[in-house]
Chains A and B, each alone.
Chain A
Amino acid sequence: MSKHHITTTINNNPVEFLCEPHQPLLDVLRDELGMTGTKEGCGTGDCGSCSVTLDGRLVCSCLVLAVEAEGKTIQTIEGMAQGDHLHVLQRKFLEHAALQCGICTPGFLIAARALLERNANPTEEEVRFWLAGNLCRCTGYQKIIEAVLDAAKEIRGA
């Protein structure tokens, strides 16, 4: 088994790593790079806890091979706040009590940001369907939906 040398960009930083050909991106982020903000809930692409963006596209990092990151741009939860300035979604999740245990929260934030980048004026139904790939067992989703709609409103300056 020889490892692959991958050159990529994570949260706007140049990153190089070595990985096995079968290793999922999630495992490299967490176990090789120490970026444990991205969570593993299932490893089969069903829960969305490991959501990241790859060249702007929302993906489950457990379903992406690490070698596929070559030359690409990855955004993870660790890159969402700018210094001590939280992203509006992070702030709204806190204000709306949209997390209880918090394990699904990084995935929801990454997915919600991907939605608002495409559609800053989503309906409640659009938010519910966009986030249907992210599982939360604590909140019943109510406060998550409210936080995302409120963040969208602030982004629009409404």
Chain B
Amino acid sequence: MLTKTMDPAKVLKVVGTSPVRPDGVPKVTGQAVYGADTILPGMIWGKILRSPHAHARIKSIDTSKAAALPGVKAIVTGADLPDHKFEYVGPERVAVNYWHMTRNILAREKVLYEGHAIAAVAATTPAIAQQALDLIHVDYEILPHVIDVDEAMKPGAPLLFEDMITRGIEPAPTTPSNIAKRLEFSVGDLAKGFAEADEVVEMSFTTAAVHQGYIEPHSCVARYGADGQCELWSASQGHFVVRAYTAKLLGMDIGSLLVHPAEIGGGFGGKTVVYVEPVAVALSKKSGLPVKIMMSREDVLKATGPTSGASMTVKIGVTKAGKIVAADSTFKFQAGAFPGSPVMNGAMCAYACYDIPNSRAVGYDVVSNRPKSAAYRAPGSPISAFGVESVLDILAKKIGMDPLELRYKNAVSAGSPTAWGPKHAHDGFKETIEALMKHPSYKIPLGKNQGRGVASGFWFNGGGESAATLHVNEDGSVVVATGSMDVGGSRASMALMAAETLGIPYDKVRSTVADTASIGYNHVTGGSRVTYATGIAVVQACNTVIEDMRGRAALTWDVSIDDVIWEDGHAKLVAGHAGDHAPLSLAAIAAKRAVTGGPIVAEAAVNAGGMAPGFSTQFYDVEVDPETGHTKILRVVAAQDVGRAIHHDYCEGQIQGGVVQGIGWALNEEYVYDKEGHLSNAGFLDYRIPVASDLPHIDVVMVEVPNPNHPFGAKGVGEVNIVPPMAAIANAIEQATGKRMTSLPMSPPKVLAAIDG
């Protein structure tokens, strides 16, 4: 193994600083090419016909009039895509079913939500493509629909799939329902645990579906050649996964599809799946021309993402001394129109911060007539945390204990059990609580109508498959390439780790993201895995190059490689060696590469384990206007264990961004449906994400408890920050108003009703 585990005593020169990112200038000058910015010669425009109904059977689709319109070059429907076997594949937490996926790309037997794609047209102009959509006639048999998760679970609810039998129940139910799956994680003896409790609180909560809200709508350009070779320019969180899904859905060889990583305008989990890509490829194949498809914002809100809304009941018992002795919860998650909500994550993360001897978490994955849910930042964890962390706040008050202290007394550390089996392997959670306990702002007195709320959160973080290559140029500059999409500064973190490892300046490293034909497989930029896993691959490639450099220096000096060390970017003779040779820099060795072995290239491929989870503890000070119910966030302090910050400012920025998404989830954001099952707020005016004037300064405390399994101690930082805000803000509102909010979002009308009620 070339990966060297971290030496905590080593002083780092480059890692932990905040240099300007390699892709910075193109992004501030408008030169960076995002998904919608690709323009190819001869390109035509694709548009997608979407269902106006929440639930209907498709009796027939007549595209003849559209096809006859001059300028129309291709039309596709679900019938143009191969069908797939009904089976769940992949690890259970993230299993996919291509029978479902192909039906979400283009509907077949039924439309299952408003905005469900039915057919697509490619034409010489966007206007002609739109005109052609209007000429497609779909004969629908409108069916009763169901939106709410609790309604969808009731016997007699309209069924999305007439043959769906709930998985995870023995013996299997004999009648179909909208419950795709039941799961359970149990530890200890609940009855015994609750008997030991001095205080028990049981409460029900609901959360609304919320969208990832990336500013860039989905878009792509596909060019399919007569030789069966296809190129795709797509803004995604993982071009290798786009390639795999698109090839699978179209029955293509993976090798026939080359995916170029366009710059991505935000994803937050929502761009780990495909929507328009297979459609664009199918249209390009039929028309023989490059096809661009861009979603509108309305399409994005109606037909992509969101994360699940949920209904849950949480019961927790504590002793007077503050020991959590038992917890029992049920989480019912909206999957959207196809199974696959993050309820398993939600159930696993629910108590993951705490060492609870007796616990049970039951989860239900429930379909209803909404868009299929997609990953959103720590998927599932924020939802269950809203319930669990709200109940903990109530219990802390009941036993007269500071909410941070209650959490601290029960906090997990390395060696603590988990509800799903393996023990926790890393510290870091207690340190986030301590950071808030001693933060000066935690003691600031509050005024009238003001409150302070605390909550914590857990997220697994990811490792997995990554590949990197390193090229040393003849002048000693270096190119680092990976296949991990750069969503928020990963080119910079890869360059920092390479510069640190090689001992050269940051600005000597050019860091790029390579296409699917130019580098080995990289899994998605998701699960907060890239700085960890792809970082390990980069460091491994650097270490291979260092070995090569030592060998070339040894050859030059006619000494043994064992007599050559690599230090501060130079090959040097070991101390005490008899010879006398001036150190050779990377540039000096590179200049002689032809006579020492040729090009200096290394590649590394890893399937990284050993990642450490993310923990965050945050507090919010709020002021609630008793006249309007409006909640103003006065102060936020967010502590998070980052392992070790690789790029200091981008690390901090991840935490600030996650906090603000959480504030939106807590106070504003929700999917609003009318009686017909139509989304009423499919635009940024009515689906209101936080704006600059809504927010105070976001104070970040980065706790650094290094992960010894990463060369520099990095832990994933992207996600766990969104877990605590909703409960913390609810806890703060309770302190400000005396009213416990149990339903998200805590919008002014709801808070006002609680105050007046």
Contacts and interface: CB of A to CB of B under 8 A. Distances in A.
Interface of A: 20, 30-31, 34-44, 46-47, 49, 76-78, 80-81, 86, 90, 93-97, 99-106, 109, 125, 127-129, 131-145
A34 B41 CA distance: 12
A130 B697 CA distance: 16
Given A42-B297, A43-B296, A137 B214 contact: yes
Given A137-B214, A140-B695, A142-B656, A78 B29 contact: yes
Given A97-B489, A144-B692, A138 B684 contact: no
B194 to A, nearest CB: 40
Nearest to B296: A43
Contacts of B31: 37
B9 interface: no
Given A44-B684, A140-B656, A142-B698, A103 B34 contact: yes
Given A100-B653, A109-B28, A144-B692, A94 B21 contact: yes
Contact of A135 (B39, B215, B267): B215
Interface of B is mostly: loop
Interface residues of B, number: 60
Nearest to A37: B30
A36 B685 contact: no
Contacts of B265: 39, 41, 101-104
A90 B697 CA distance: 22
A3 to B, nearest CB: 12
Contacts of B33: 36
Given A100-B653, A101-B488, A132 B217 contact: no
B458 to A, nearest CB: 21
A128 B691 CA distance: 8
11 contacts: A20-B127, A36-B39, A38-B30, A41-B684, A44-B685, A94-B20, A101-B215, A101-B216, A102-B32, A125-B693, A140-B659
Given A94-B24, A100-B489, 4 more contacts: A46-B685, A95-B20, A103-B214, A131-B692
B657 A100 contact: yes
Interface in B20-50: 20-21, 23-25, 27-34, 36-37, 39
Nearest to B695: A141
A116 to B, nearest CB: 15
A42 B654 CA distance: 24
Nearest to B648: A97
Contact of B691 (A40, A97, A135): A135
A143 B27 contact: no
Contacts of B654: 100
Given A43-B297, A103-B215, A138-B653, A94 B28 contact: yes
Nearest to B33: A36
A109 B28 CA distance: 8
B464 interface: no
A42 B301 CA distance: 11
Interface in B456-488: 487-488
Interface in B676-690: 683-685, 689-690
Contacts of A125: 693
A132 B684 CA distance: 13
Given A140-B695, A141-B692, A78 B30 contact: yes
A44 B297 contact: yes
Nearest to A20: B127
A96 B215 contact: no
A100 B24 CA distance: 9
B296 A97 contact: no
B683 A44 contact: yes
B496 to A, nearest CB: 13
A138 B653 CA distance: 8
A81 B690 CA distance: 30
B217 A129 contact: no
A129 B656 CA distance: 19
B20 A41 contact: no
B263 interface: yes
Contacts of A132: 691-694
Contacts of A35: 30
Contacts of B684: 41-42, 44, 46-47, 135
B719 to A, nearest CB: 13
B615 to A, nearest CB: 19
A128 B693 contact: yes
B629 interface: no
Contacts of A86: 25, 28-29
